[in-house]
Amino acid sequence: MSEAQSPSEHPPKRGVLQPGFLGLTLIQFLTALNDNILKSTLSFALAAGGIWGGLLGPGGQAWAAYGLTIPFILLSGFAGRLTDRFGMRLMVRGVKSLEVLVALLALLAFLKGSVVIGLAAMFLLGLQSSFFGPSKYGLIPALIRPRDLPKANGITSMATNVAVIVGMLAGGPIYEHWLGDPVRVDAVAPLVDQSSGEGAADDGASSLQISYISGGGPLREASAIEGQLLGTGFDRETTLVFAQPFPEGPWVSTLPQSVASQVAEASEGPSRSVELILTSAEPDLDSASVSKEVPQVTLPLVVDSSRSTDPTVALGPESPGVAWLPGLMVLIVAGLGLLALLPLPMVPPMSPQLVVFPKARSMTHRIVDALFADYWRSLVAMSKSPLLLLVIADAAFYLIAHIAIVLLPDYREVLGVSETLVSAMQGLLGLSIGTGCVLAGLLSGKRIRLGLAAAGVVCLGVCFGLCGLLPTASSAEGFLASRDGMMLYAVNCLALAIGGIGAGFYLVPLLALIQHLAPAAERGRFLGTWNASTFLPGLVGIAIFQMLRIIGVPSVRIWLVCAVFAMLLLPLLVLVVRSLQRHQLADGWSVPLSDAESGDPEDSLQEEPV
């Protein structure tokens, strides 16, 4: 069967149990899963306290979110044009094939421990997902009868959020296993200048000669050493982060003298140890040439009288990192996505005569027109109906959502918990959003109920406001500080869960209305424009988070900003309802649905080739 079928050869619209819709739901699940495995792992590495946390400044995890967001803004309109021209199934097949290549790049990034390659893989994964969006959302109204649209969107949203849960829950453990346990000092010698046999000169610097025994984990990158070590305070067991390259084999690293003195004092007496987390910014560094640049001085970190004359500090990972684990997980999920294509039915293109690159004065103008002109044309067309207000109201939510996404990795320090427990918080938020989506679909019946969206906004604002007022682990008192701070963790989880259900109540009615009102002949471009519109506020939200962190606003207080933005969604909803009523589409705060869909191909005007 050719992709260029006439609209009359559309597959019949049925309920949510048809193989085509179930296959689409599985594809959506696997795509979202891959996005979140990679993003979550990178976010932990770039967040405060992560191995790459100092490289990109405060709020560094925002860069992983930028990589996933920017392609959606730049390419969603063009993706919608390609979808209308070539058909949804062909587009889905293309992007899932590209995902396998991106997974191979992610595998290389984690094997080399390269933040640059990792962010490049994140950007490319966002690029292929941006081409998937218009096809995914366009296939739902193409396969599902109108009265089942809320239910279908509830199911796909639930699948998406379960994938987010699994990806986020997996992100913490994957990061921990990739990183491996910190290396530990085995034996040391007194601080002696071996060339003269005297103590280290007070020249502002001392050196540490080590033998690094690689356990297969990736080499690391970190930022300035002095800012990380000075003022930390040293006790019997202290973790130090060295921002010096540590390739395999012995060589010499330079430390500030003041740091060396503090470490030496902390290490006095038997059976006292200091943990080292080694980092590497340049894996290909010639260790021999570096060794010649500084005196051969050995710094005592663990004092053991039986081995105090040993001039070498032997280092070895207690538990080596699994360098290939994150990339392999992404590759496996991408392969499963290819298999999920099999039950997807052939859906003909809506506008097979559409020109991909419209005529213009030059190729540059043609490319710019293809990438961005559809945004303007679609927005102008939407302005003649309630669609424009619907898109604005839906997109505004994602400003809040993206702030929450990049904020949660900082809860490792806010609550003093492990990456795994932070992943559990992220997963709980995703599960609650999915639960809210399913409940909204079930409660909608054969109508789209915007009253559910209003209730969801209030719930979201109250719960995020509570999260912003809760103390951190260091300032918690009384009940919240009980059980080693786990009560504070539990209260935060409860607030996030209830707020997530409210988010699901808000999203499903708006998305169902956008799909219902979008004309079939232009559905790809309309949904591409909508898809880009959800990420543009998201980009603003990420920038707001980063700016607030740079000026010193504590992560936990940023929830208050989210709460204010959530309550501002209520006036937008009122405008949406009034617009629907003016166009005689709404009965109060709900829109009735029937199987006579105004957006069916035979009832839509086909766009003339541009």
Residues 6+ apart with CB under 8 A from 502: 436, 455, 456, 457, 458, 459, 460, 463
Residue holding tokens 């869960």?
497
The reply to whether 372 and 419 lie within a common domain is yes
Looking at residue 300, its pLDDT comes to: 30
609 occurs within a structural domain = no
In a domain, 4, yes or no: no
223 within a domain of the structure (yes/no) = yes
Q: Higher-confidence residue: 201 or 521?
A: 521
Rg of the Cα atoms in the chain:
28
Q: Is residue 277 part of a domain?
A: yes
Residue 369: both structure tokens together: 């027109």
Range of the domain at 449: 9-180+323-603
β-pairing, 205-212 with 313-317?
Answer: parallel
> What span, in angstroms and rounded, lies between the C-alpha atoms of 493 and 11?
44
Q: Is 198 part of a structural domain of the chain?
A: yes
Q: Which residues pair with 251 in a beta bridge?
A: 210
Are 138 and 268 in the same domain?
no
> Please, where are the H alpha helices in 236-386?
257-266, 287-291, 325-339, 363-368, 374-382
The last residue of one of the domains, among 317, 336, 369, is: 317
The packing angle between helices 558-567 and 523-550, to 10°, is 140
Task: Verify that 132 and 217 share a domain, yes or no.
Answer: no
pLDDT at residue 104 above 90? no
The average pLDDT across 317-327 equals 59
pLDDT tens, position by position, 454-465: 999 999 999 999
Structure confidence at residue 514 (pLDDT): 86
For 71-75, what is the mean pLDDT? 80
pLDDT band at 57 (very low <50, low <70, confident <90, very high): low
Judgement on whether residues 176 and 187 belong to the same structural domain of the protein: no
pLDDT greater than 50 at residue 304 = no
**222: pLDDT strictly greater than 80:** no
Question: Residue 132: pLDDT above 70?
Answer: yes
Q: Higher model confidence: residue 297 or residue 468?
A: 468
Rounded Cα gap, residues 509 and 205, in angstroms: 64
pLDDT given for residue 571 in this prediction: 92
Return the exposure string of 31-66: e unless at least 16 CB atoms fall within 10 Å of the residue's CB, then b.
bbbbbbbbbbbbbbbbbbebbbbbbbebbbbbbbbb
Strands of 165-308, DSSP E:
183-185, 192-193, 198-199, 205-212, 239-241, 251-256, 275-277, 297-298
158 shares its domain with 171: yes
Q: Is residue 608 part of a domain?
A: no
Q: What is the pLDDT of residues 507-563, one digit of tens each?
A: 988 988 888 888 877 777 788 888 788 878 888 888 899 899 888 888 889 999 999
Looking at the fold, whether 356 and 492 belong to one and the same domain comes out as: yes
Q: Is residue 610 part of a domain?
A: no
> 199 pLDDT exceeds 90?
no
| pLDDT for residue 1 | 37
Question: What's the pLDDT at 235?
Answer: 30
Q: What are the distances in angstroms from CA 44 to CA 3, 132, 414?
A: 43, 26, 14
Across 210-214, average pLDDT = 31
Q: Is the pLDDT of residue 610 over 80?
A: no
- Compute the mean pLDDT over every residue in the chain, rounded to the nearest whole number: 68
Confidence of residue 186 (pLDDT cuts 50, 70, 90): very low
Furthest C-alpha separation in the chain = 93
Determine the pLDDT at residue 475. Answer: 66
Residues 420 and 332 in one domain: yes
pLDDT exceeds 60 at position 295: no
Q: Is 602 exposed, middle or buried (0-12, 13-18, 19+ CB in 10 A)?
A: exposed
Is the distance from CB of 303 to CB of 267 less than 8 angstroms?
Answer: yes
Q: Which two tokens stand for residue 141?
A: 């109204």
| pLDDT for 245 beyond 70 | no
Question: What's residue 61's pLDDT?
Answer: 60
Which position has the higher pLDDT, 76 or 563? 563
CATH number at residue 535: 1.20.1250.20
Q: Which of 289, 317, 345 is the last residue of a domain?
A: 317
Whether residue 461 is found in the same domain as residue 336: yes
Total number of domains constituting the chain: 2
* Least reliable range by pLDDT among 97-106, 240-249, 259-268, 451-460: 240-249
Residue 405 lies in a domain: yes
Instruction: Considering only residues 300 and 410, tell me which one the structure prediction assigns the higher pLDDT.
Output: 410
Mean pLDDT of 406-428: 80
Q: d(Cα 208, Cα 255) in Å, to the nearest integer?
A: 7
> What does DSSP assign to residue 309?
T
Cα dihedral across residues 237, 241, 247, 250: positive or negative: negative
Residues 337 and 448 in one domain: yes
The answer to whether 171 and 430 are in contact (CB under 8 A) is no
Q: Which of 266, 284, 317 corresponds to the end of one domain?
A: 317
Question: Do 571 and 585 belong together in one domain?
Answer: yes
- Nearest 5°: the CA angle 223, 228, 231 is 160
Higher pLDDT, 523 or 385: 385
User: Residue 446's pLDDT is what?
Assistant: 79
Listed range (231-245, 255-269, 469-483) with the worst mean pLDDT: 231-245
Name the band, by pLDDT with cuts 50, 70 and 90, for residue 288. very low
Is residue 279 domain-shared with residue 407, that is, in the same domain? no
Instruction: Give me the mean pLDDT over the 403-415 stretch.
Output: 83
Q: Is the pLDDT of residue 143 over 50?
A: yes
Lowest mean pLDDT among 150-164, 257-271, 333-347: 257-271
Distant-in-sequence, close-in-space partners of 69: CB < 8 Å, separation ≥ 6: 126, 402, 535, 538, 539, 542
Q: What would the DSSP string read from start to end of 27-86?
A: HHHHHHHHHHHHHHHHHHHHSTTSTTTTTS-TTTTHHHHHHHHHHHHHHHHHHHHHHHHH
**What is the mean predicted confidence (pLDDT) over 80-101?**
83
Q: Which residue has the tokens 């306290």?
A: 49
Domain shared by 34 and 117, yes or no: yes
Choose between 55 and 590: higher pLDDT: 590
